[in-house]
Structure 1
Amino acid sequence: MKTKAMNITVIALAVASALSAAPSFAEEQESKAKKKGLEVIQVTARKTVENLQEVPVSVTSVSEQDLVESGITVMTEIQQFSPNTTLQASRGTNSTLTAFIRGVGQQDPLWGYEPGVGIYVDDVYIARPQGAVLDLMDVERIEVLRGPQGTLYGKNTIGGAVKYVSKPMSGDTEFNIEGAFGSYSQTDLKVTGQIPLIDDKLYLGFGHGMFKRDGFGEFLKIADNLGEQDTENYNKDISATRLTLEYRPTTDLFVRLGWDKTKDTSNAKGGYRLLPSIVTDAPVPDSVFDSYSSLPTDNLVETDGISLTVDWNVNEELALKFISAKRESYSSTNIDFDNTAVDIFDVPAIYDDENTSHELQATYSGDGYSVVGGLYLYDAESCGVFDAVLGHLGRSLFPGIATGFTREVAGCNNSESQAAYVQSSFDVTEQLSMTLGARYTNEEKEAYVNNGVQIFNVYPESDWVPGYQRDPNLAFPQVLGTDSNNDGTLDAPASDDWSQFTPRVGVEYQLDNKTMLFASYSQGFKSGTYNPRASGQEGAANPEIVDSIEFGMKRDWNEQLRTNITLFNIEHKDRQYITVTPDPTDSTVLNQSLGNIKGSSVKGLEAEITYAATDLLTIDLAVGLLDGEIEDDPTVATPLLGLSNTPDYTFALSANYLIESEVGYFVVNGGYYYRDDYRLFEDSDALFQEGYGSFNLGVTWESEEGNWYGGIYGKNLTDEEFMIGGYNFAAQDEAGNWIPGLGGDTTLASYYGDPRTIHVKVGYRF
């Protein structure tokens, strides 16, 4: 495995920061001060409540206490706790997620593409990346399961899964109001609470949050024809609401009905031009957060859902659970690829998704064995439209004829899934146990694509730009589908289906009462799909398959030291990729289509170490190492250089220290997080992020009574600049000169993570 040396000063800074910090929360702080030793952590990685140290799975659990003391408010920051994990806001919005675990994920958020990391909120699958960057509210913990989870969680968890677990109600009347103020005029407000409608039986919970912030940069120039626009870039304007009704008619029956809605009206993000434009006056900006645009800056990402959960403990051995949910999302987004005030390469788009899911699960615990099994149904419609507006190019190629140029792509990728699963753990001897599991999934998919061009600018909606009126009769031909009438015209969706058996086999050995050794083989699969950008008739890409082998040790050496270490090897086969093949009617022409390439392999290590140095001081270390390689495949036009969004190693060192005083409890929390080099795209090093480290520091306070609390938190205090997304539509010749790409310009742009920020929080609960 490739090794790299870290600068000694970086390590020194990391150690110094770790030794100056700590986490803790609410009434738990007092008990923590009196209790020496390691915390008992409960997780539901195997769909039943278990001690983290007894679960033969590589999983990180981040508690509400950890989140509060670290000043974390957004799910993407969880990547700092979990080795070999990438969770980042995607290119054009605050709310679209890019997720990779162990080198496996999905970068393209277009409808039809399936994710490689599953996101779950209270066991409900979040199917699309739009709106998946969640602002945290009423959360009990977040679990990150690394490696394929195909047996218990099903399709699209080939890299792993991230589980958001909400806090159950206490049954008492509670109310909490919290405000935060900080850099770039950050103004957040959260109001949460619960009301007993029937004592000890029926409770209503509520939460509403507003998260606002000015932009880190600005749009330096916007097209004149757009009129007055909001020029803030990287601003934030999000609201989130949750309502929950919980019913406990008996001690053995629990019913939860939940509804949530999130609305993100932050401006569309403008990218940072890494090269000056050769078409117009658009030099490289001074700040990485500044940009230009020829599109309106407004943007919308809206999601909502309703879910029903029923838990019934039939008896001491048998428990039943039913989960039903319906979720919808709608996005109307403006993405200026070229980031100039000229319509060189603009892509306004609409995404519209809806899905329903139903799961019936049974858990049985016997003498020396346990079984969990269930049935799962999923039905989804995923549609969208985008217009690749190349106006400047059209006017240049067809002077006096064209007023612009547009390629419009629209369509749907709809899917239905049915699955049955079962997994059992049983004792072979007093020390040796085994886990056997299997899931059978049937996946059906229908898709159609309309794709065509016009020699004028086309936008998805009539009011997209001032004065624009979309012709209601404007239609682009269907290019992917079936001819149901046999008249030579495509008028119905194309369809395909796949069935997959995903097993899991594991062996666990309890060496002593503090040490568990485990080994496992597991498989996951990502659904087959159709090319949402198809320009002609083509078949569906086959599912991706991941085979994983793990060896691990979990050990509490004493009451102070815990080490959890996992070695793994992943074989990722039939990766879905845009492949290039000769045209069947003309061998000199190459066609691009979505197909499958051979795959990739990844081997690595994950180590999570906790040291409770004293009653008040705890130090945590998380290290991830990866060695990934993509197999050569002649069907790929450009040779693949390496895995995207996947550094060779990640390193996190943190510490927390509890201080008791006459005015309450203080927790000092600090940490250093380092990500090694990574590329944003697998076929190019034009967007390559050098390794960087960030330092966070926070102080949390809570009154002795526990009603007042607050804190001050600094993020990325060294003000590191690091890329999290980008677009590359330019190439270099052998002499290193840049060659214009699509749109006729040297379009190379990147998007960046948050700069240094400081915020103060104050709250009151009763």
Structure 2
Amino acid sequence: MSVGKRKLAFVSGVSSLVIAAASPVQAQDGDAAAANTANNENVIIVSAEFRETNLQETPLAITALSSDALESRSLGNVADVGRSVPSVTLRMASAGYGKSTQAYIRGIGQSDFNFALEPAVGFYVDDVYHASLFGSVFDLLDLQRVEILRGPQGTLFGKNSIGGAVRLISQKPTNDLEASVQGTYGSYERLDLRGMVNLPLIDDTLALRVSAASKQRDGYVDRVDFACAHPDQAGNVQPTVTSGDCKVGTLGGESVRAGRAALRWTPDAPLEVNLTAEIMRDSSEGAADSLITIRPTAALNTYNANKLVPTYGIPFDTRFATDPYVTYASFRDLSNGRQVPATNTMNSDSFSGEVKLDLSDSMVLRSITAHQRFSGRFTQNADNSPLPLALTDNNVSFRQFTQELRLQGEALDGLLEWTTGAFYFESKAKIGGGVSLPASGANGIVFDQNDQIEGKNKSAFVHVIAHPSDRLSLTAGLRYSDESKSYRFDRTNQPSGTPFFAGGAFTAPEATFDRFDYKLGADYQWTNDLMTYAQYSTGFKGGGINPRPFTPAAAVPFGPETLDAYEIGLKSEFFDRLVRLNLAAYYSDYTNMQLSANGMDNLNNPSIIIANVGSATIQGIEAELTLYPAPGFTIETSGSYTDFKINDLGAADGVSGGPTLDSKAPGTPEWKFSLGAQYTFDIDGFGAITPRFDLYYQSKIFNEYTNNALAVEPGYALANARITYDSPNEDWSLALGITNLFNEFYYVNRFIQAGGHTYTGQPSRPREWSLTLKRDF
């Protein structure tokens, strides 16, 4: 069957499913209308189209979680949020990629932090775009809600939102005096403190909201001195400790401080100014990392025979693959004396200002200006042993400036809603530190780096919604983007001090492109409680430059990935909003895929190549169901199926060790389900007790495009539980939470290190408990 026929068959089949789901509801038109008027407490408001709308009347596949919902699920950062959202994977990056959130939506994502590459899912904090994976492990500090938009957002959220967008919306200052404090104590000496105060400085004119947080937790992976613990297997390697349990430290510990100040000025009705400053200081220890297995290769066998055994008396082999919660990483290179700390830090400073001006009763102008700085250091001893094989030290910095102008209005007595605007972005980044790979090349590879990356984006967009009738709406959007990226490679061999590249530092050819993105859609409100929609949209993930060349010839640019997506959906509510069912089905053509491969070249040098090769089709279906069976009783469930099929691989077809036509997308389980339930028991004169249980399941997940069996994570299920007591006046609460209730073991991510003989991973956190006390004033 051809791609076009498969597309038609898929959409037709899902259309029948959606119509069948809608049919029994239409007969309830009159009752539903009365019910909607009578019951408003379950309405969810979102702003995914830059205007506040009811979630059930927004023709998008979108999930919104309020701050209360995030807290009740024991979700601590943005990487946790994706568990309960269909077709979405948000996870912490591996140790070699620092403080990054790897985001995948509907089979499209990005894992590598390097600033030469672009994310495939856009992160936005209060409508300010965050342009790098590094620094995207956002703490959920004083949030109003999180919105996750699935599918390309190529017109309104244009830059690198090919897979979708994650929006964090903060609480704004109000004219009410209020404050809160919260403390959490738990496993691994966890101690979290949070506080907020909202101050109305001038009645109805000026308000200030200040929030702060501190997070402290010990590591859960033990660093053990191998020669101390196993002297009979250590050969000539000398221990650094000689007594006790041979433990020299831990990995995975946290130490974070964050603060946010927001000032809201409303001098008169037409004008509103919001100024925000955020700061974070993260001095956490190295990310949890351990050795999964070792696969002997010709290069490793040669290195063992020629270097390791003659010098240290032992080879690098499976003796170092031990308990996943133990690592023998020493963070030093015995071959050259290089020593680095086990660290994973991130410092950020963000400043933004939004000016909203009502030009008339039907026209609003917004200006959003932001400047952000991020820096950090993260290290990895990838062989997880005391032997010299792979040690990396990354000192990175990134700063960006964004300016967006947005004009919104209505025309023809509300029959036409429109949004138009322009967006400007520029960034400068540096990657310093050093790389020590003594097992690579004829004499090993050890160098320091001072690479510099710059990027720019200029775009303009228009988005129009027409209402030809009370029930029918038509949507059209267009965005033009002009983007460029440059990379200067500056690396020095150590300890010789000679240039790493034969001709010295150089600037690679610039990556440039421009394109148009489109959106066309229609939605119909069959009743007050039933809406269906259909849409076609496009998106892209920006091009870049191969960031890890070993010769200047390999430092080549690559182009953007592109997506053409077709989607139909249903938004429905029954029985006085006591049942909410939302469905979405999609079919996407994914072209110019940016595929990368880790391996060794003919000179035994690590070879990491990124190129635009091939195309794929992605199709799937998503469902979200919420039930309110009784007052205080809530059941939430979701599920998704994703089918990813590569159609061709272009120049990569048949390359040894590369992807095949049977390869599946990394970071994307075929099946995903979640279930959450809570019930509030009100006790007269005592308060309320709310137990909650959450269950999350995902099928097996691949971690790279070759689908290497040793880098596959089998399917698993996780469970969290929480019980909360609220005082009669709801001014204080006490909650006991347990995460990973059944102590399920899995790897958050698995990684094949350069050379292909070392497989590492981030082990899951074990079962943990926490006790949280909160007081509102």
**What is the CA–CA distance in structure 2 between the aligned matches of 1:582 and 1:614, rounded to whole Å?**
61
Secondary structure class of the residue paired with 1:689? coil
Map 1:29-68 onto structure 2 (within 5 A): 39-68=42-71
Alpha-carbon distance in 1 for matches of 2:597, 2:627: 49
Q: Deviation per CA, 1:191-218, whole angstroms, max 9, x where unpaired?
A: 2112222222112221111111111121
- The aligned residue for residue 251 of structure 2 is 233
| Residue of structure 2 in register with 1:761 after alignment | 772
List aligned pairs for 1:599-610, cutoff 5 A. Answer: 599-610=615-626
Cα distance in 2, alignment partners of residues 590 and 752 from structure 1:
26
Q: Which residue of 2 aligns with 1:294?
A: 330
How far apart in 2 are the matches of 1:363 and 1:703? 44
Which residue matches 2:282? 264
Q: Check whether the contact 1:62–1:81 (CA below 8 A) recurs between aligned residues.
A: no
Report the secondary structure of 2:188's partner residue: helix
- In 2 relative to 1, CA 543–185 (structure 1 residues): closer, same or farther, beyond 3 Å? same
Q: Using the alignment, how far apart are the partners of 1:698 and 1:233 within structure 2? A: 27
Once residues 229 and 499 of structure 1 are traced to their aligned partners in structure 2, the CA distance between those partners, rounded to angstroms, is 54
Code of the residue aligned with 1:757 in structure 2: it is E
Q: Decide whether the 8 Å contact of 2:353 with 2:368 is kept in 1.
A: yes
Give the Cα separation in 2 of the matches to 1:211 and 1:581.
39
Cα 1:429/1:199, change in 2 over 3 Å: closer
Q: For residues 413 and 513 of structure 1, do their structure 2 counterparts lie closer, same or farther at Cα, with a shift above 3 Å needed? A: same
The aligned counterpart of 1:556 is 573
Report the alpha carbon displacement of residue 630 of structure 1 after superposing the two structures with TM. 2.4
**Deviation at residue 339 of structure 1 after TM alignment:** 1.0
Q: 2:627 maps to what in 1?
A: 611
**Structure 1 residues 688 and 642: alpha-carbon distance in aligned structure 2, compared to 1, 3 A threshold:** same
Deviation, 1:603, is 0.3
Post-superposition offset of 1:595: 1.8
Q: Which residue pairs with 1:752 in the alignment?
A: 763
**Is the contact made by 1:294 and 1:346 (CA closer than 8 Å) also made in structure 2?**
no
Name the stretch that deviates more: 192-201 or 612-621: 192-201
Q: Which moved more, 1:559-568 or 1:591-600?
A: 591-600
- Residues 193/285 of structure 1: CA separation in 2 closer, same or farther (3 Å cut): farther
CA contact 1:275–1:283 (8 Å) conserved in 2: no
Once residues 546 and 293 of structure 1 are traced to their aligned partners in structure 2, the CA distance between those partners, rounded to angstroms, is 42
**By how many angstroms is 1:591 displaced?**
8.0
Q: Mark the CA change 1:587 to 1:236 in structure 2 (over 3 Å): closer, same or farther.
A: closer
* Matching of residue 445 in structure 1 with residue 485 in structure 2: yes
Q: 1:545 to 1:226 in 2, by over 3 A?
A: farther
- C-alpha separation in 1, matches of 2:686 and 2:221: 40
Partner SS state of residue 510, structure 2 = strand
- Residues 370 and 426 in structure 1, CA contact (< 8 A), matched pair in contact too: yes
- State the shift of 1:495 in Å: 2.1
- Mapped contact 2:718–2:744 kept (Cα < 8 A): yes
> Which of 319, 323, 333 is residue 283 of structure 1 equivalent to?
319
Larger relative contact order (C-alpha < 8 A, sep ≥ 6)?
1
Post-superposition offset of 1:632? 3.8
1:322 aligns with 2:322: no
Q: Map 1:359-370; keep pairs closer than 5 Å.
A: 359-366=404-411, 367-370=414-417
- Asked if 2 retains the 8 angstrom alpha-carbon contact of 1:531 and 1:593, the reply is yes
More helix by share: 2
Contact 1:95-1:134 within 8 A present in 2 as well: no
Kindly report which structure 2 residues correspond to 1:637-652, keeping only aligned pairs within 5 A, or say none: 637=655, 638-640=658-660, 641-652=663-674
Q: Is the 8 A contact 2:294 2:759 kept in 1?
A: no
Out of 209, 215, 219, the residue aligned to residue 219 of structure 2 is 215
Q: Specify the SS of the correspondent of 1:231.
A: strand
> Which digits, 9 at most, give the CA deviation of each residue in 1:282-339, with x for residues without a partner?
7355532221223121332112210001122233211111110001111211111111
Deviation string for 1:90-146 (max 9, x for gaps)? 111773211100110101111211000011110111111222111211100000000
Q: Distance in 2 between matches of 1:590 and 1:720?
A: 35
> What is residue 425 of structure 1 aligned with on the other side?
465
What is the CA–CA distance in structure 2 between the aligned matches of 1:252 and 1:475, rounded to whole Å?
62
Deviation at 1:588, TM superposition (A): 14
Could you list the per-position Cα deviations for residues 327-355 of structure 1 after superposition, in whole angstroms to 9, with x for gaps in the alignment? 11112111111111222111111211110
Partner amino acid, structure 2, of 1:371: W
SS of the equivalent of 1:240 reads strand
Cα displacement (A) at 1:718: 0.9
Q: Please list the CA deviations of residues 608-661 of structure 1 after superposition, one character each: whole Å capped at 9, or x if unmatched.
A: 111111122121111111011223425333134211010001101111211111
Q: 1:274 aligns with which of 289, 292, 304?
A: 292
C-alpha separation in 1, matches of 2:159 and 2:390: 35
Give the secondary structure class of the aligned counterpart of 1:283: helix
In the alignment, the residues of structure 1 paired with residue 741 and residue 161 of structure 2 have an alpha-carbon distance, to the nearest angstrom, of 34
Taking every aligned residue pair, what percent have the same amino acid on both sides? 26
Secondary structure, in 3 states, of the residue corresponding to 1:443?
Answer: strand
- Cα offset, 1:690, TM superposition: 0.9
Cα shift at 1:567: 0.4
| C-alpha distance in structure 2 between counterparts of 1:129 and 1:226, whole Å | 36
Does the 8 Å CA contact 1:579/1:596 hold for their aligned counterparts? Answer: no
Secondary structure class of the residue paired with 1:686: helix
Question: Whole-Å Cα distance in 2 between the matches of residues 756 and 582 of structure 1?
Answer: 39
Are the structure 2 counterparts of residues 226 and 634 from structure 1 closer, same or farther at C-alpha, using a change threshold of 3 Å?
farther
In the alignment, what sits opposite 1:27?
Answer: none
Asked if 1:506 is matched to 2:526, the reply is no
Checking the alignment, whether the CA contact within 8 Å between 1:272 and 1:284 is kept in structure 2 is no
- Aligned to 2:342, the other structure's residue is in SS state coil
TM-score, length of structure 1 as denominator length: 0.85
Q: 1:230 to 1:380 in 2, by over 3 A?
A: farther
Cα distance in 2, alignment partners of residues 694 and 577 from structure 1 = 31
* Contact residue 415 and residue 443 of structure 1 kept, 8 A: yes
1:555 Cα shift? 0.9
Matched, 1:72 2:75: yes
Q: Which residue is 1:108 aligned to?
A: 112
Amino acid at match of 2:544: T
Match of 2:452 in 1: 412
The answer for the alignment partner of 1:12 in structure 2 is none
Letter paired with 1:429? S
Say if 2:657 is the partner of 1:635. Answer: no
Match of 2:612 in 1: 596
Matched, 1:688 2:712: yes
Query: Residue 118 of structure 1 contacts residue 125 of structure 1 at CA under 8 Å; is this kept in 2?
Result: yes
1:345-368 Cα distance to aligned partner (Å, 9 max, x none): 111112111100000111112321
2:565·2:589 contact (CA, 8 Å) conserved in 1?
yes
Alignment of 1:476-555 (within 5 A): 476=499, 492=507, 494-534=509-549, 535-537=551-553, 538-555=555-572
Query: Matches of 1:496 and 1:146 in 2, distance apart?
Result: 28
Kept after mapping to 2: 8 A contact 1:352/1:383: yes
**1:355 matched to 2:355:** no
SS in 1 for 2:750: strand
1:147 aligns with 2:151: yes
CA spacing shift, 1:763–1:729, aligned 2, 3 Å: closer
Measure the CA separation in 2 of the matches of 1:509 and 1:618: 28
Name the SS for the 2:543 alignment partner.
coil
Q: Given the alignment, which residue of 707, 710, 722 partners 1:698?
A: 722
Is the 2:357–2:364 Cα contact (8 Å) retained in structure 1?
Answer: yes
Question: Match of 1:67, SS?
Answer: helix
Query: Structure 1 pair 301/580, CA: closer, same or farther in 2 (3 Å)?
Result: closer
For 1:697, the aligned partner's letter is A
Count of residue pairs the alignment pairs up: 686
More deviation, 444-453/623-632 = 444-453
2:742 to 718, 721, 725: 718
Closer/same/farther in 2, CA of residues 249 and 590 from structure 1, 3 Å limit: closer
Q: Give the Cα separation in 2 of the matches to 1:229 and 1:379.
A: 46
TM-score, scaled to structure 2: 0.83
Instruction: Check 1:181–1:567 CA distance in 2 against 1; reply closer, same or farther (3 A cut).
Output: same
Check 1:272–1:194 CA distance in 2 against 1; reply closer, same or farther (3 A cut).
Answer: same
Question: What is the letter of the counterpart of residue 205 of structure 1?
Answer: R
Give the 3 Å change call, closer, same or farther, for CA 754–364 of structure 1 in structure 2.
Answer: same
Distance 2:504 2:711 in 1: 42
Contact 1:294 1:343 in 2 (8 A): no
- Cα–Cα, structure 1 residues 236 and 191, in superposed 2: closer, same or farther, change >3 Å? same
Rounded Cα–Cα distance in structure 2 between residues aligned with 1:726 and 1:588: 23
